[in-house]
Chain A
Amino acid sequence: MTATLTPTTAVPTTMTTWLPRLVPGILRLHRTALTSVAVIYLAFTAVALTVVHQVGHPRAVILAGQFNGTLYSVSTYVFYLPVLVAVFIGAPMFARPLETGTFRFAWTQGVGRRRLVATTLIVFVFELTVLSIPLGIVLSRLWFDLSPQFGGVWVNHHFFTNPWMLAYSSVIGLLVGALLGVVFRRVLTTLAATTAMMIAIYLWATMVRFFQETLLWFAQRMPSSYAGVPLRNGNYLAHYDYSSVNLYFTDRFGHVLSYPTLSQSQKLALNQDNASELRRYGLHVWQGSLFHAQFHGFLMMWIGFGVVTVIALVVAIFAFIGGNDRLLLRRRRP
């Protein structure tokens, strides 16, 4: 007994023919991952929107103080969303089918593996971008509008919770995990490697001396005011990170003049009585601008993510040269 199988359509040649057909299949195949991403990002957006709504109340000042902690928590967690995306969405994306063997099914379908891989990535990139932007807008608006009530905190708005940074870091996190999955081809190994890679990126952007030196290069080119806070002669920018406190002394234009490294005793004295300690440096007028480590890393996050992505991409390409399979390279014609 044989079922009759009759071709229903012609062989595709153009993108407009196969793309509308392929995307629903990818949505169905990656439904769980796509839904998880949407739920997490929308949940953060909902919490942030709730705060926005509450702050609009006449008792905004009181409520702002009340929600300050919540907002801070949301922003902090949002900072780590790219790590979650990299480890739990990106890493298994290709590592799992390569480990379980289901790639043999997917990569031998008529649409072709390059179209399949590229469209899968594009679908996730599109989703992450679309979800990051409203979340970033809400968070930025919160910090921007409410920064006076939050004591002039402005870094969140300028740095990592801005929509573009959020979208960029989320997408890069996805790509890092996905590319490492192609290289390692084992889920657990890829999870570990991706986690290590993301931690390395974050640490590099916050703790490494090279980063601090690079930060100085950027700081010297910063404007003479930040979010309406003018940096006058004798101002300083205190740079805190997990291991040290460093001072950037600025001129009257706000340009950084020097970058002294403080001894442990000086750091201790600065923490206990910064006014008298600063007088020792000849500072009679001072205005502190606090750089929190995770915030000031935004520039390095761009660079760090970019560097790591390029490295992962190159490694992934080389993994296919003479390896088991060829994903990205053109195959030889007979």
Chain B
Amino acid sequence: MTSAVQLEAVSRRFRRRTALRSVTATIPSGSVTALVGSNGAGKTTLLNLVTGLLTPSTGAISLFDHLAPGSLEALGRVAYVAQDGPVSTSRTVGDAVHIARAFNMLFDFDAAVVRLQRLDIDLKQRVSKLSGGQRAQLAITLALARAPELLVLDEPLSSLDPIARRDLLGELMGHCAESDMTIIFSSHVIAELEKIASHLVLIKDGEAVVAGEIDELLEHHRIFTGTATEAGLVHDGHGSVISQAHPLTLAPRVIRFAVPPTGNALFAPVTLEDLAYAYLEHAPSGSGELSK
């Protein structure tokens, strides 16, 4: 399987602050990768690096195995929906569609108009008059109309209502199935990631604490349901404790196994939400084992 994005020890500094520290990860083509992390963890910085808006301080990024982010070849194949200020607000929706068509040789104008009409977004309305959700939908429409091979979405769900979220996720899944599009999106709505995402990258304090295929990650993690006495089992080299959910009993909660135990009543399957919270709340920096 070819990779859509390859990050090799990528770091990014902003003067005195380090936003990303030595992130190494591979995002396979055709995958849907959820980028999860707390506010200020470095998600947007990572997406800006992938789209070429930023350059890494150290390390290297390649797209589709050979392209530099931001290069003409890459820009023709990558679409980015930024979190804020996606399109010029002083123009109308129709202008925005025309402008996007002018700025891309690959652009399905009719499909963009059809999608906007379906969403009841008036082409004559000024972008500045649109609601936050409508603006996000406009930006997503313009990105989808480019038929990109890699779609990068920064918090696409944050301003959408529940129905719009559900529809958008379904639509994105449809695109993935039809065109083998790779999608990377950052989100705080972890519960909804499971429905669409095949891969996960968890970022904490600028470091990727875990990355990999979600099914595989879930397979290698378990929730410990036993007592503190029984917890001795997991300290004997059977696994790595990710979170201490019961501070009084010190019973470990989410545990990562190289070889997952079978038939042990003390361990229950972990959900994506459990896993994400465990790493985000408790995992020390650098504890992640990044999959290739």
How many A residues face the partner with a CB closer than 8 A?
A: 46
Mark B97-117 against chain A: 1 for CB-CB distance below 8 A, else 0. 011111111111101001100
Contact of A97 with B88 in the complex, beta carbons under 8 Å: yes
- For residue A265, CB closer than 8 A to chain B, the reply is no
B23-31, B138-146, B155-163, B183-191: which one contacts chain A? B138-146
Contact of B51 with A108 in the complex, beta carbons under 8 Å: yes
Contact of B91 with A108 in the complex, beta carbons under 8 Å: no
Contact of A2 with B95 in the complex, beta carbons under 8 Å: no
Contact of B55 with A332 in the complex, beta carbons under 8 Å: yes
Interface of chain A: mostly helix, strand, loop or mixed: loop
Contact of B80 with A108 in the complex, beta carbons under 8 Å: yes
Chain A residues close to B by CB (< 8 Å): 1-12, 17-18, 21-26, 28-29, 31-32, 97, 100-102, 104-113, 116, 324-326, 331-334
Min CB–CB distance A334 → chain B (angstroms): 4
- Alpha-carbon distance between A11 and B148 when the two chains are bound, in angstroms: 12
Assuming the contacts A7-B147, A28-B98, asked whether A21 and B85 have C-beta atoms less than 8 A apart, the reply is no
- For residue B121, CB closer than 8 A to chain A, the reply is no
Contact of A6 with B53 in the complex, beta carbons under 8 Å: no
Q: Provide the residues of chain B in CB contact with A107, threshold 8 Å.
A: 53
**Candidates B54, B99, B102; contact of A324 at CB < 8 Å:** B54
Mark B57-101 against chain A: 1 for CB-CB distance below 8 A, else 0. 000111000111111100110111010111111110001001111
Contact of A5 with B111 in the complex, beta carbons under 8 Å: yes
**Candidates A8, A11, A17, A110; contact of B103 at CB < 8 Å:** A110
- Alpha-carbon distance between A273 and B240 when the two chains are bound, in angstroms: 100
- Alpha-carbon distance between A23 and B72 when the two chains are bound, in angstroms: 18
Min CB–CB distance B83 → chain A (angstroms): 8
- For residue B236, CB closer than 8 A to chain A, the reply is no
Q: Provide the residues of chain B in CB contact with A11, threshold 8 Å.
A: 76, 105-106
Assuming the contacts A3-B115, A110-B106, A111-B104, asked whether A101 and B99 have C-beta atoms less than 8 A apart, the reply is no
Q: Provide the residues of chain A in CB contact with B106, threshold 8 Å.
A: 7-9, 11, 110
**Candidates B6, B102, B107, B178; contact of A26 at CB < 8 Å:** B102
Q: Provide the residues of chain B in CB contact with A112, threshold 8 Å.
A: 72, 75
- For residue B52, CB closer than 8 A to chain A, the reply is yes
- Alpha-carbon distance between A67 and B66 when the two chains are bound, in angstroms: 68
Q: Provide the residues of chain A in CB contact with B230, threshold 8 Å.
A: none
Contact of B85 with A100 in the complex, beta carbons under 8 Å: yes
- Alpha-carbon distance between A101 and B170 when the two chains are bound, in angstroms: 28
